[in-house]
Amino acid sequence: AQKITQTQPGMFVQEKEAVTLDCTYDTSDPSYGLFWYKQPSSGEMIFLIYQGSYDQQNATEGRYSLNFQKARKSANLVISASQLGDSAMYFCAMRVGYSTLTFGKGTMLLVSP
Protein backbone atom coordinates (compact mmCIF):
# COMPACT_ATOMS: atom_id res chain seq x y z
CA ALA A 1 0.00 0.00 0.00
CA GLN A 2 1.11 3.54 -0.70
CA LYS A 3 1.89 5.97 2.09
CA ILE A 4 2.74 9.65 2.15
CA THR A 5 4.23 11.29 5.22
CA GLN A 6 4.45 15.00 5.89
CA THR A 7 6.12 15.46 9.26
CA GLN A 8 5.82 19.24 9.53
CA PRO A 9 2.35 20.25 10.72
CA GLY A 10 3.33 23.93 10.42
CA MET A 11 6.13 26.04 9.01
CA PHE A 12 6.94 29.73 9.35
CA VAL A 13 8.98 31.73 6.87
CA GLN A 14 9.69 35.38 6.29
CA GLU A 15 8.71 37.01 3.07
CA LYS A 16 11.34 36.67 0.30
CA GLU A 17 13.05 33.74 1.99
CA ALA A 18 13.08 30.18 0.64
CA VAL A 19 11.30 27.36 2.45
CA THR A 20 11.37 23.58 2.10
CA LEU A 21 8.32 21.47 2.86
CA ASP A 22 9.14 17.83 3.54
CA CYS A 23 7.45 14.82 2.03
CA THR A 24 8.47 11.18 2.19
CA TYR A 25 6.68 8.34 0.49
CA ASP A 26 6.58 4.60 0.56
CA THR A 27 5.83 2.30 -2.31
CA SER A 28 7.33 -0.85 -3.76
CA ASP A 29 6.13 -0.04 -7.26
CA PRO A 30 8.86 1.39 -9.53
CA SER A 31 6.39 3.54 -11.46
CA TYR A 32 4.76 6.38 -9.57
CA GLY A 33 4.11 10.09 -9.66
CA LEU A 34 4.46 12.68 -6.95
CA PHE A 35 2.33 15.81 -6.74
CA TRP A 36 2.12 18.93 -4.63
CA TYR A 37 -1.10 20.86 -4.14
CA LYS A 38 -1.75 24.17 -2.39
CA GLN A 39 -4.95 24.72 -0.42
CA PRO A 40 -5.55 28.33 0.61
CA SER A 41 -8.06 29.26 3.28
CA SER A 42 -10.76 29.50 0.61
CA GLY A 43 -10.56 25.71 0.31
CA GLU A 44 -9.76 25.00 -3.33
CA MET A 45 -6.97 22.60 -4.28
CA ILE A 46 -4.41 24.14 -6.62
CA PHE A 47 -2.01 21.88 -8.51
CA LEU A 48 1.59 23.10 -8.18
CA ILE A 49 4.08 20.59 -9.49
CA TYR A 50 4.54 16.97 -10.62
CA GLN A 51 7.49 14.59 -10.59
CA GLY A 52 7.48 11.20 -12.27
CA SER A 53 9.55 8.40 -10.80
CA TYR A 54 11.52 8.00 -14.02
CA ASP A 55 12.16 11.69 -14.53
CA GLN A 56 15.88 12.38 -14.53
CA GLN A 57 15.60 16.05 -13.67
CA ASN A 58 13.95 17.62 -10.67
CA ALA A 59 10.69 19.31 -11.64
CA THR A 60 10.47 23.10 -11.55
CA GLU A 61 7.51 25.42 -12.03
CA GLY A 62 8.30 29.08 -11.53
CA ARG A 63 9.14 29.60 -7.85
CA TYR A 64 8.34 25.96 -7.06
CA SER A 65 10.85 23.16 -7.38
CA LEU A 66 10.70 19.58 -6.25
CA ASN A 67 13.80 18.14 -4.60
CA PHE A 68 13.39 14.51 -5.62
CA GLN A 69 15.68 12.05 -3.86
CA LYS A 70 14.62 8.65 -5.05
CA ALA A 71 16.92 6.58 -2.86
CA ARG A 72 15.61 8.37 0.23
CA LYS A 73 12.04 8.28 -1.07
CA SER A 74 11.64 11.98 -0.51
CA ALA A 75 9.99 14.64 -2.64
CA ASN A 76 10.40 17.93 -0.85
CA LEU A 77 8.81 21.09 -2.20
CA VAL A 78 11.03 24.16 -2.29
CA ILE A 79 9.40 27.56 -2.58
CA SER A 80 11.86 30.30 -3.40
CA ALA A 81 11.30 33.96 -2.57
CA SER A 82 8.19 33.36 -0.43
CA GLN A 83 5.28 35.75 -0.82
CA LEU A 84 2.45 36.54 1.58
CA GLY A 85 0.08 34.82 -0.81
CA ASP A 86 1.96 31.56 -0.32
CA SER A 87 0.39 31.20 3.13
CA ALA A 88 -1.73 28.08 2.78
CA MET A 89 -1.92 24.37 3.48
CA TYR A 90 0.35 22.29 1.25
CA PHE A 91 -0.37 18.65 0.45
CA CYS A 92 2.00 16.10 -1.02
CA ALA A 93 0.34 13.26 -2.94
CA MET A 94 1.40 10.14 -4.77
CA ARG A 95 -0.09 8.03 -7.51
CA VAL A 96 1.16 4.51 -8.20
CA GLY A 97 0.48 3.00 -11.59
CA TYR A 98 -3.14 3.45 -12.57
CA SER A 99 -4.29 4.12 -9.03
CA THR A 100 -5.56 7.41 -7.75
CA LEU A 101 -3.96 9.97 -5.49
CA THR A 102 -2.97 9.24 -1.90
CA PHE A 103 -2.50 12.43 0.10
CA GLY A 104 -0.37 13.30 3.11
CA LYS A 105 -1.79 15.16 6.10
CA GLY A 106 -0.47 18.48 4.90
CA THR A 107 1.80 21.26 6.14
CA MET A 108 0.45 24.70 7.02
CA LEU A 109 2.82 27.40 5.76
CA LEU A 110 2.63 30.89 7.19
CA VAL A 111 4.58 33.67 5.49
CA SER A 112 5.24 36.74 7.60
CA PRO A 113 6.11 40.23 6.35
Partner 1 sequence: EPEVTQTPSHQVTQMGQEVILRCVPISNHLYFYWYRQILGQKVEFLVSFYNNEISEKSEIFDDQFSVERPDGSNFTLKIRSTKLEDSAMYFCASGGVHYDNEQFFGPGTRLTVL
> What residue ranges bind partner 1 (CB under 8 A)?
33, 35, 37, 42-47, 50, 52, 91, 93, 95, 98-106
How far is residue 41's CA from residue 7's CA, in Å, rounded to a whole number? 21
Q: Which is nearer to partner 1, 16 or 97 (CB)?
A: 97
Q: Which is nearer to partner 1, 43 or 113 (CB)?
A: 43
For the CB of residue 103, give the shortest distance to partner 1 in the complex, in Å.
4
Between strands 60-61 and 64-69, the pairing is antiparallel
For the CB of residue 54, give the shortest distance to partner 1 in the complex, in Å.
10
In 3D space, the residue among 109, 83, 103 whose CA is nearest the CA of residue 91 turns out to be: 103
In 3D space, the residue among 46, 48, 43 whose CA is nearest the CA of residue 79 turns out to be: 48
| DSSP class of 79 | E
For the CB of residue 63, give the shortest distance to partner 1 in the complex, in Å.
18
